[in-house]
Structure formats: C-alpha cells, structure tokens
C-alpha cells in the first residue's frame, strides 16, 4: 500500500511544490493555514488539475502530466471527506450513505454496510434528513459515505474543523477506529498538533507550499509546535501495576502513569517539550516518577533558548532548556544524559 505524490501547481501568487511517498496507515498533512494542505487533497481527489504532477495510488497512475494521464474524480476512487461536510440536503442519511456505493460498483455487501453503519453509530439516523443532524452526526455520515464508496485512498480534510471541542472529543474515537480497520492509505489534513500526534503514522510537514519535513510521526513531531511544543510522541505497551500507577513499556525504558487502559494493549504517549528536564546524572530523591536514560542527538541554540534532541530507544525526545543550562551541563552531541519527565498524556489504542 502506498501513494506516490509529486505536485507542482501555481495558483496566483501561491506555488505548491511537493513530493513525497506515503506508506500504509494514516499520513497527516500538517501545517498552518495557507500551507497548501487542502490544495494537495484536491489534487489527490482530481478536483484540481495541477500544472505538473504525478500521482500513483496503489500502483495505479491517476495523474501524470508528462504523459497526459488524468483520471477524473468520478473514476478515481478517492474518498474525500470535505472540511464543510457537503451532505446532499435533498436526500435522507441512508441515500447519502449509499450515493457513492451505488456508483462505485457496489463493492460492499449488506453485512459490510451494516458493519460501517454500526461502527459509525448511524443506525438510528438512516431515515433522517441531513439538516436535522448535529455537527458531529453530519461528520460521521460524511465519513460513512466516503467509506461505503470503497475508495482506494481516503482523504480527510480537517474533518474536525467545523466542530466545537466537545464534538471533536466525540468524533476522535471514531477516527481512531476507522484508522484501525481501514485497509487503504488515509490522508489526514489538520493543523492541530494533538490530532496528528494521536492519529497519524506518518507526517508531511507543510509550510508555504513546500514540504518542510517528512517521516514517522514519532520522529517528525518531536519539537513541533510554537506555543506548547511537543517533546515526544511514542508508542508503548501497557504493562502491569506498580503501586497505584500503571507501567508503560517501550524500547527506551518504562513510564509510570496513573491511567493507561488494559494490560497488553498499545498506547500512544505524548510528552510536552516543556515537561522534559535534562540531568547529567541520574537524579535521586526527585518527585518525578519517570527518568529515562537518553543520548543527545543535537543541540540547537536560539538566542537565550536551546532545543535539545535526544534518542531514547527508538524514540526521539526534544526538550526546551535555556542556553545557560546547555553551557552549565556542557550538553553536546553524543553525551549520555537522563530525561526527567514531569507529565505525560496517554491515549489508548
């Protein structure tokens, strides 16, 4: 499963020039507004025909401007969930759901349809009209409509953007389930660091129409974010109890947290860059529960501040400290240190 993407497209003063190859799972297109996220999705779906480009989805070339290949959207099997939902107002929820299914070869059988309807919690809404649905319900119908068209690739353009905080919390678990059952690559457009950290497998960092970074979510996101930068995203297995705390085991060590879900399950952990302290020697008599051995990868000085990237097992940690601390601790590449973690956020899978 893969999607090969290369696009060059000028729109007024804006130049979109990106190239990346996304593997299986969820690829987040992440960046500030105006970075070109939605433009990429529209090119992927075929709604925009770029000046130059080549897109290969699951082995099918759907766009190659050099060879004059352009598969129109209606033939492309790219399931797009729009930012503004776009349900057909003159049709029932059920007719909306089956719109693409009917036109894309009816690949899902009755059992599969029932499963998706149940998965998205739409059983009781089928005969309703979209205009009588809440924002969260509309988003779920839009997801179901795209899924039932059995696309080769699923494009989610800020599916949570039109929702308030509470509704987002309601939809996120549905998206996680979707990620776990979908057999096709998913592109997820978002400008929310938390959403991306929680859902993505890979991240394409976008800025002003260019790729500013590309790689695994565990690598790329550490250090991202301006106000509350992320220090690390890592995946761990829920272990046993240690007193009132639960163990989370990953290849860089173990973390102790208050809540982590069922034993043996995977959990995704987020740590804020400001919640990581650095010590040269293993601290003793300290209130923090989590102290991980790590190696300094890189020190980036920025005026009086500094960003320290560290390796801990396969995880990448980024801490923000002052330039004065860097001098005092003589932090440099290759130095073994201890990362003291003040708090972590855990999301069950």
Partner 1 sequence: MPFLTPDESEALLLSLKISSVAVAVALPFATATALILSRSFRGRTFLDGIVHLPLVLPPVAMGFILLMIFGTRGGVGAFLKDHFGIVLVFRWTGAVLASMIFTFPFQVRAIRLALEARDQGLDEAARTLGAGAFDRLINVSLPLALPGLVAGAITAFAASLGEFGAIITFVSNIPGETRTLPLAIYTALQMPGGEAEAARLSALSIVIAFLFLIAAQTIMRRATRKNEG
In the bound state with partner 1, the residue whose beta carbon lies nearer, of 56 and 99, is: 99
Binding positions for partner 1, rule: CB under 8 A:
45-47, 72-80, 82, 84, 86, 88-90, 99-100, 103-104, 130-132, 145-146, 149
- Closer Cβ to partner 1, 131 or 183, answer by number: 131
Report in angstroms how near the CB of residue 87 gets to partner 1 at its nearest: 8
Burial of 296 (0-12, 13-18, 19+ CB in 10 A): buried
Residue 78: CB atoms within 10 A of its CB come to: 25
- Least distance to partner 1 from the beta carbon of 48, Å? 10
The whole-angstrom separation of Cα 19 and Cα 23 is 13
Concatenated DSSP letters for 133-193?
A: S-HHHHHHHHHHHHHHT--SEEEEESTTTTS-HHHHHHHHHHHHHHHHH--S-EEEEES-H
Q: Which is nearer to partner 1, 45 or 271 (CB)?
A: 45
The answer to whether 247 touches 261, Cβ cutoff 8 Å, is no
Least separation in angstroms between residue 125's CB and partner 1 is: 15
Q: Which two tokens stand for residue 229?
A: 């930068």
- Compare residues 73 and 313 and give the one whose CB is closer to partner 1: 73
Cα–Cα distance, 39 to 45 (Å, whole number)? 10
Shortest separation between residue 225's beta carbon and partner 1, angstroms? 31
148 within 8 A of 110, measured Cβ to Cβ:
no
Q: Minimum distance from CB of 205 to partner 1 (Å)?
A: 26
Task: Look up residue 227 and give its two tokens.
Answer: 């106000």
Give whichever of 14 and 88 is closer to partner 1, judged by the CB atom. 88
- Structural element, H or E, at residue 253: strand 253-257
> Shortest approach of partner 1 to residue 107 CB, angstroms?
11
In the bound state with partner 1, the residue whose beta carbon lies nearer, of 102 and 327, is 102
How do beta strands 186-190 and 153-157 pair?
Answer: parallel
* Pair 334, 268: CB distance under 8 Å: no
Task: Pull the structure tokens for residue 275.
Answer: 């919640």
User: Which CB, 9 or 77, lies closer to partner 1?
Assistant: 77
- Nearest approach in angstroms of CB 145 to partner 1 is 7
């Amino acid at each position: 499963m893969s999607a090969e993407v290369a696009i060059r497209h000028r729109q007024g003063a804006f130049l979109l020039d990106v190239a990346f190859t996304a593997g299986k799972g969820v690829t987040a297109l992440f960046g500030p507004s105006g970075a070109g996220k939605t433009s990429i999705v529209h090119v992927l779906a075929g709604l925009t025909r770029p000046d130059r480009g080549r897109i290969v989805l699951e082995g099918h070339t759907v766009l190659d401007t050099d060879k004059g290949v352009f598969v129109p959207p209606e033939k492309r099997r790219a399931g797009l969930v729009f930012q503004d939902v776009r349900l057909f107002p003159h049709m029932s929820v059920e007719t909306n759901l089956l719109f693409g299914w009917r036109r894309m070869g009816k690949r899902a059988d009755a059992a599969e349809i029932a499963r998706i309807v149940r998965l998205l919690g739409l059983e009781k809404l089928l005969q309703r009209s979209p205009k009588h649905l809440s924002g969260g319900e509309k988003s779920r119908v839009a997801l179901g409509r795209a899924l039932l068209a059995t696309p080769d690739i699923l494009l989610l353009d800020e599916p949570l953007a039109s929702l308030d905080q509470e509704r987002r919390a309601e939809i996120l678990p549905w998206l996680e389930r979707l990620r776990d059952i979908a057999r096709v690559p998913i592109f997820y457009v978002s400008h929310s660091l938390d959403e991306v950290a929680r859902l993505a497998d890979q991240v394409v960092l976008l800025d002003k129409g260019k790729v500013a970074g590309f790689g695994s979510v565990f690598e790329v996101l550490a250090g991202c974010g301006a106000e509350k930068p992320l220090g690390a995203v890592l995946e761990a297995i829920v272990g046993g109890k240690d007193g009132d705390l639960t163990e989370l085991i990953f290849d860089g060590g173990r973390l102790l947290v208050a809540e982590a879900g069922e034993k043996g399950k995977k959990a995704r952990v987020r740590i804020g860059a400001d919640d990581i302290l650095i010590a040269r020697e293993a601290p003793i008599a300290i209130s923090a529960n989590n102290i991980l051995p790590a190696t300094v990868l890189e020190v980036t000085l920025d005026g009086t501040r500094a960003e320290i990237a560290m390796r801990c097992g396969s995880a990448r940690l980024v801490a923000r400290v002052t330039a004065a601390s860097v001098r005092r601790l003589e932090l440099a590449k290759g130095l073994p240190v201890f990362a003291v973690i003040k708090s972590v956020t855990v999301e069950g899978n």
